[in-house]
Amino acid sequence: MKATQTSRTAQYMALFRALETRRPPKGRLFSDPYAHIFLDNGLKTAVWLSKIPGIRKVEESIIRSKIPGALSSGIARTKYIDDLLETTVGNGIQQVIILGAGFDTRALRLSFLASVPVIEIDHPNTSRFKLLKLRRSQPAANISYHQIDFNYQSLDELGEQQHFDYTLPTTVIWEGVTNYLTAEAIDKTFSFLQLFASGSYVIFTYINRQILTDPSSYFGGEKLLEDVSGLEEKWTFGFWPDELPDYLQRYRFTLLEDMGADDYRRKYMPERNEPGYEFYRVAFAEKK
């Protein structure tokens, strides 16, 4: 990401959520009344026009041709993480931290978080832009916003400065971030996560490392890597799924679920399935 820009991929995810929100109530997985405010005028127009069935089909076809599988994967992934988060709240967690929050609006749109403290942490450019766009919304007393560049700044230092309470069982959401970082930054982040109390959880996304070593093995993989590199949001890191459990154990986390895009699309939207993005995964782990 350029030093003077917000994340373009964060805006695309907001677009996907805004399009889903425009579906009829009985046919959508979730509603995000805030997603559209982060979009530029062209994308806002596309969302408004999507209420016309024929136009929606054309728009979705264009998205699929440019980023195969990203639309359905992104929508199903959002719902899947929402459900995992609700499960952890039901299990008694006492705070939520969203790393690399982007234009995530869970703290605003999910009623079960209304009484749970939520800490959002993100890159300064994206965070400032988000707060600017939210300035007309009703401020939520349970949300706090902090800014950091994960590749160059320490979460431990931020935690010390802001007096994070590590004794509370906490759910950490880390969505759409790990594939842009270095291995060192990943290790440091998990070192930070292990500071939290037993009974804490982490929900994070990652890409199968195979997409980086052999992009042609996935439908649309080569073009996708070229496109994200052109946005100066190059993908740099992935896990091998079979190595993930042992990696997490190093930081006292036990892997509970590890689901790929094909799986969570089948779970939530089998009637809207499409090829592509099979390398994208969601992992769910508990601190023991």
Residue 222: pLDDT band by 50, 70, 90 thresholds? Answer: confident
The conformational region for residue 28 under phi > 0 = left, psi -120 to 50 = alpha, else beta, is beta
Phi-psi region of 100 (alpha: psi -120 to 50; beta: other; left: phi over 0): left
If you compute the radius of gyration of the chain from its CA atoms, what whole number of angstroms results?
Answer: 18
CATH number of 69-287: 3.40.50.150
Q: What are the structural domain ranges in the chain?
A: 69-287
Per residue in 131-160, pLDDT (tens digit) is: 988 886 666 889 999 998 766 778 999 999
How far is Cα 32 from Cα 104, in angstroms, rounded to an integer? 10
pTM for the model stands at: 0.94
| pLDDT tens digits, one per residue of 232-256 | 578 899 999 999 999 999 999 999 9
Task: State the Cα–Cα distance between residues 106 and 58, nearest whole angstrom.
Answer: 29
pLDDT at 228 over 60: yes
Query: Which amino acid is located at 104 in the chain?
Result: D
